[in-house]
């Protein structure tokens, strides 16, 4: 009883909604612990809380084919068949990315071709990362726009075979859908305009090759960094040309006079410095000569003093010897 579809459920693609999941995977889901403990007696309101607790998306994994919680909630939504407004709110929810992924997957399973393109294509602008589980139980990262692209293009996603939908170009030819505008169209248009501008104004090298008869080569459009560098070079060259043009003969004459004055001042400063150095050397030499004279005079005085001291000491010694009765010193 717990695994039966609700009584007032509508058939999807001409069959029971639960039959969109293969029987083997469906029986594995019925036997798993998450289905028995977490998905029992769930309603559309309680399903939102369980969807917010999702941490990754995936199908079955392991050697004994264990279903992921994401796949269990998908089967529960097929069983209780919530209203379309609830599923649309799941898709438009921007706060919980796994709730959005669950709503997009359920819309791809049960929605019409127009509903799939109408509600899933705006999610191409969602670039958030999703954690996805592989068959071995490991995890890898994908983005929301990649997941939406696989839903619209692949035949099997999360180990569930998706119902077939019409191609987009068929709906455009029948005027049921407008042509899709890609976010890259503006960048492609800018690139085309740059290439056209380069073709219209070839470089001098290309002109020389064209004159010789060889076909001109198309150059790549410069990067923003090189473009800014070239712009700065051109502005500097223009400034130099303006300065050259602004120089008049009077300015040149004034500059020559200033140079002559500066040379004259430098020559005068050099002559003054030479005279000052000559005076310093003369003063230094005279002072050294005077110091030598004083030193010689001091030496002479010191010699005479020492001689007088020696004579006094000899006389004193002779007196002392005479008092003692000894002969005097020679």
In a domain, 285, yes or no: yes
Residue 247 binned pLDDT confidence (cut-offs 50, 70, 90): low
Distance CA 197, CA 201 (A): 6
What is the reported pLDDT for 116? 92
What is the reported pLDDT for 298? 64
Reported for 4-13, long-range contacts at CB under 8 A and 24+ positions apart, including other chains, are: 4/79, 5/78, 5/79, 5/81, 6/79, 6/80, 6/81, 9/79, 9/80, 9/81, 10/81, 12/78, 12/109, 12/110, 13/163
Tell me the average pLDDT of the chain: 79
For residues 32 and 75, state if they share a domain: yes
For residues 195 and 167, state if they share a domain: no
More confident residue, 313 or 112: 112
What is the reported pLDDT for 246? 54
Provide mean pLDDT across the span 165-190. Answer: 81
What is the reported pLDDT for 108? 93
What is the reported pLDDT for 67? 93
What is the reported pLDDT for 221? 52
**Total domains present in the chain:** 3
pLDDT digits (tens, 9 = 90+) for 189-206: 777 777 777 777 655 555
What is the reported pLDDT for 157? 92
What residues contact residue 218 under an 8 Å CB cut-off, 6+ apart? 195, 198, 199
What is the reported pLDDT for 310? 60
Contact between 158 and 71 (Cβ < 8 Å): yes
In a domain, 165, yes or no: yes
What is the reported pLDDT for 14? 83
In a domain, 57, yes or no: yes
Distance CA 113, CA 168 (A): 9
What is the reported pLDDT for 324? 67
Residue 102 binned pLDDT confidence (cut-offs 50, 70, 90): very high
What is the reported pLDDT for 224? 54
Residue 182 pLDDT > 60: yes
For residues 70 and 188, state if they share a domain: no
Contact between 49 and 183 (Cβ < 8 Å): no
What is the span of the domain harbouring residue 293? 260-305
For residues 104 and 21, state if they share a domain: yes
In a domain, 241, yes or no: no
pLDDT digits (tens, 9 = 90+) for 118-150: 999 999 999 999 999 999 999 999 999 999 999
What is the reported pLDDT for 3? 80
For residues 106 and 211, state if they share a domain: no
Provide mean pLDDT across the span 66-89. Answer: 92
Residue 214 pLDDT > 60: no
For residues 143 and 201, state if they share a domain: no
For residues 43 and 84, state if they share a domain: yes
What is the reported pLDDT for 327? 72
Q: What percent of the chain has pLDDT over 90?
A: 35
Out of 113, 141, 173, a domain closes at 173
What is the reported pLDDT for 302? 59
For residues 111 and 25, state if they share a domain: yes
In a domain, 234, yes or no: no
Residue 295 pLDDT > 80: no
pLDDT digits (tens, 9 = 90+) for 143-169: 999 999 999 999 999 999 999 999 988
For residues 157 and 272, state if they share a domain: no
In a domain, 328, yes or no: no
In a domain, 80, yes or no: yes
Residue 232 pLDDT > 90: no
Provide mean pLDDT across the span 53-79. Answer: 92
Provide mean pLDDT across the span 254-268. Answer: 69
For residues 159 and 273, state if they share a domain: no
In a domain, 3, yes or no: no
For residues 267 and 300, state if they share a domain: yes
Q: Would you state the structure tokens that stand for residue 237, as one six-digit string?
A: 């060259």
Residue 281 pLDDT > 60: yes
Contact between 137 and 123 (Cβ < 8 Å): no
Contact between 58 and 46 (Cβ < 8 Å): no
For residues 30 and 163, state if they share a domain: yes
Using a 10 angstrom Cβ sphere, with 0-12 exposed, 13-18 middle and 19 or more buried, the burial of residue 224 is exposed
The per-type count for the chain, helices as H runs and strands as E runs, is 13, 7
CB atoms within 10 A of CB 62: 10
């Amino acid at each position: 009883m717990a695994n039966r579809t609700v009584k007032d459920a509508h058939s999807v693609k001409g069959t029971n909604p639960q039959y969109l999941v293969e029987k083997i995977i469906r029986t594995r889901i019925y036997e798993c612990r998450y289905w028995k403990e977490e998905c029992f007696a769930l309603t559309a309101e309680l399903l939102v809380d369980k969807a917010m607790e999702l941490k990754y998306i995936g199908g079955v994994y392991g050697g004994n084919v264990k279903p992921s919680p994401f796949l269990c909630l998908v089967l529960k939504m097929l069983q209780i068949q919530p209203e379309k407004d609830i599923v649309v709110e799941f898709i438009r929810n921007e706060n919980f990315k796994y709730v959005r992924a669950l709503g997009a997957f359920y819309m791809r399973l049960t929605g019409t071709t127009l509903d799939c393109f109408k509600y899933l294509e705006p999610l191409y602008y969602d670039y958030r990362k999703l954690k996805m589980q592989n068959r071995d139980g490991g995890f890898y990262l994908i983005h929301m726009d990649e997941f939406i692209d696989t839903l619209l293009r692949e035949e099997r996603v999360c180990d569930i075979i998706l119902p077939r939908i019409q191609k987009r170009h068929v709906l455009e030819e029948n005027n049921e859908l407008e042509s899709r505008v890609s976010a890259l169209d503006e960048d492609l248009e800018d690139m085309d305009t740059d290439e056209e501008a380069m073709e219209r104004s070839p470089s001098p090298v290309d002109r020389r090759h064209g004159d010789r008869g060889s076909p001109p080569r198309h150059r790549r459009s410069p990067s923003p960094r090189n473009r800014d560098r070239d712009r700065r070079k051109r502005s500097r060259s223009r400034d130099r040309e303006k300065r050259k043009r602004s120089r008049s003969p009077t300015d040149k004459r004034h500059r020559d006079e200033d140079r002559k004055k500066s040379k004259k001042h430098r020559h005068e400063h050099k002559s003054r410095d030479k005279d000052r150095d000559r005076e310093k050397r003369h003063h230094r030499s005279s002072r050294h000569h005077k110091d030598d004279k004083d030193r010689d005079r001091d030496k002479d005085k010191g010699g005479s003093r020492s001689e007088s001291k020696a004579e006094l000491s000899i006389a004193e010694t002779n007196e002392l010897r005479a008092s003692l009765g000894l002969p005097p010193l020679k």
